[in-house]
Amino acid sequence: MFTAFLIKYAEIGIKGKNRYLFEDALVRQIRFALKPVEGEFDVTREQGRIYVIAGSAFDFDETVGALKRVFGISGICPVVIAEDEGFEKLAQDVTAYMDCQYPDKNRTFKVNVRRAKKSYPMSSMEANSELGGRLLDAFPELKVDVHKPDIMLNVEIRNRIYIYSDIIPGPGGMPVGTNGKAMLLLSGGIDSPVAGYMIAKRGVQIEAVYFHAPPYTSERAKQKVIDLARLVSRYSGPIRLHIVNFTEIQLYIYDQCPHDELTIIMRRYMMKIAERIGKETGCLGLITGESIGQVASQTIQSLAATNEVCTMPVFRPVIGFDKQEIVDVALKIDTYETSIQPFEDCCTIFVAKHPVTKPNLNAIKRSEVKLQEKIEEMLETAVNTADAVTVS
């Protein structure tokens, strides 16, 4: 029955010039999301509304599923499109719609006609009351409630006629592409994919970096991160993932520095490299999956020590989340099952038995002096030899 969707989006903060940027980005993201869905879809913008019109047979659930991953959409309204063949035909179509959509008629309703086609020979008010009357005649159990109806039956009269009543909630947020780009430090864990999702939700395009340490971390660990990037890209759009070989740096730190400081020092170099790649690729911030107190390297002192090497803002959207709250999002966005696959993580290979939990920045910097001979060259090499893959 449905052959189109009216896309609703929040309009707060998108007045004036920004509105076009917002709508353009939204249309682009909708097209991207619908690409893998079978069927042909025309995404159109008319008179401040966005419609997705199916040009052929399509799978309703799959289409709605794809639209539910497009940030910026607040509601998805399945629409029946009818030809304008006079009021009698319209009354029949509206009655048939009501009958089919709501088998149980014990409800309240309101008809809401919008007449975008000004040549239509009836005013909106007239059409409202006439259609309402026809529905009451056809289904005597129905009742009108103009204030809080169970069913808001919308009828938009344009060149054709659009009938809809249901609003399926969208994900909210802003369309990706309306808020610049940031570099996600993506590991194989639960937290960083969630962090990337949350920042993408605010309209930020995601670029990602993964540090791997072959042969200490396997190809499968790397593949898991690629898989996670792909899962996040279902929401964010294509992600360019930079894969940095971190082995040499990690071994060098291991050889030169106190082992209880390894994790912190390693994390500082990860941030440095991420920032360098981020600068080259137009990113304006870094994103991590850190949460206060979760592990030794995420005490507030450790976070301060890690943060100290960055000049870009570091976005940590799960900073105040408990693990379970992060897991809940991971389950919702379908990254959880992949994240819990048991592959070694480059952070965990060289961890000390008793890592410092309250690192002293001066002590860390003194330890890093022992790296000065080779570290700069190693950083350069790591950045220059990084592989990049685009996932979507």
Chain residues binding Mg ion by CB under 5 A are 187, 189, 345
114 has binding-site annotation: no
162 has binding-site annotation: no
CB 296 within 8 A of CB 263: yes
Residue 297, binding choice from ligand ATP, Mg ion, none, Cβ under 5 to 8 Å by partner class: ligand ATP
- Give residue number: closest CB to ligand ATP: 189
**Token pair listed for 210:** 């993964």
Give the nearer residue to Mg ion in terms of CB position, either 67 or 221. Answer: 221
Q: What is the dihedral of CA 26, 32, 37, 42, to 10 degrees?
A: 60
Residue 185, binding choice from Mg ion, ligand ATP, none, Cβ under 5 to 8 Å by partner class: ligand ATP
Give the nearer residue to ligand ATP in terms of CB position, either 175 or 359. Answer: 359
Give the nearer residue to ligand ATP in terms of CB position, either 247 or 288. Answer: 288
Q: Residue 119: how many CB atoms within 10 A of its CB? A: 6
Give the nearer residue to ligand ATP in terms of CB position, either 234 or 268. Answer: 268
Quote the least distance from Cβ 289 to ligand ATP, whole Å: 3
CA distances from 117 to 83, 124, 370 (A): 13, 11, 75
Of 157, 9, 39, nearest to 93 by C-alpha is 157
Quote the least distance from Cβ 188 to ligand ATP, whole Å: 6
164 has binding-site annotation: no
- Give residue number: closest CB to Mg ion: 189
235 has binding-site annotation: no
Residues whose CB falls within 8 Å of the CB of residue 334, separated by 6 or more in sequence, listed in order: 231, 234
186 has binding-site annotation: yes
CA distances from 369 to 269, 374, 376 (A): 13, 11, 12
58 has binding-site annotation: no
The phi-psi region of residue 74 (left if phi > 0; otherwise alpha if psi is between -120 and 50; otherwise beta) is alpha
Contact set with ligand ATP (CB under 6 A): 185-187, 189-192, 209-211, 270, 288-290, 294-295, 297-298, 346-347
Cα 296 to Cα 264: distance, rounded to the nearest angstrom: 9
Residue 211, binding choice from Mg ion, ligand ATP, none, Cβ under 5 to 8 Å by partner class: ligand ATP
Q: Show binding-site residues for ATP.
A: 185-186, 210-211, 267, 289, 298
